[in-house]
Amino acid sequence: MGLEQNNEQHYREVPDKFIDPAVDYQMVTKDYVVRPNTGTALTLTLPPVAEAKGRIYTVINRGAGTTTIKDKADSECWGGDVTLTGKCAAALFYSDGLAWLTWSSFASPSGQPN
């Protein structure tokens, strides 16, 4: 595809899809922005790492609950589930096609302190 057609891509699909799950949720590749707003615990499962290649996903707790983010057991060197506890806890997930790379703020991967 030539560079002159790059602009057209923005008209074919919505680049950001906001979701606010209230129960455990299996993310799809278009779930770029996840903002759970619940006072209870829930689990998010990232989309397949190969299908999400080159994409970044953000998860921010809007409520006081606990959100656990896990992979589908398809990521190389997965360091363990990421747990977000409390309001405004956040994490970014990037897929290189083989592994999920994680950056978190106020998060505790595998129960370890920040």
Best CA proximity match to 71, nearest among 93, 56, 55: 93
Quick one: pLDDT at residue 18? 82
What is the rounded distance in angstroms from the CA atom of residue 66 to the CA atom of residue 59?
A: 12
Rounded Cα distance between 13 and 47, Å, is 18
Exposure on the CB side of residue 46, measured as CA atoms within 13 A: 33
pLDDT, one tens digit per residue, over 74-88 is: 999 998 999 999 899
* Amino acid (1-letter code) at residue 82: V
Domain boundaries, the chain: 13-108
Instruction: Considering only residues 107 and 84, tell me which one the structure prediction assigns the higher pLDDT.
Output: 84
Pick the CATH number of 13-108 from 3.40.50, 2.60.40, 2.30.110, 2.60.120: 2.60.120
Mean pLDDT computed over every residue of the chain: 83
pTM confidence score: 0.78
Read off the pLDDT of residues 24-52 as tens digits, 9 standing for 90 and up: 999 999 999 999 998 899 999 999 999 99
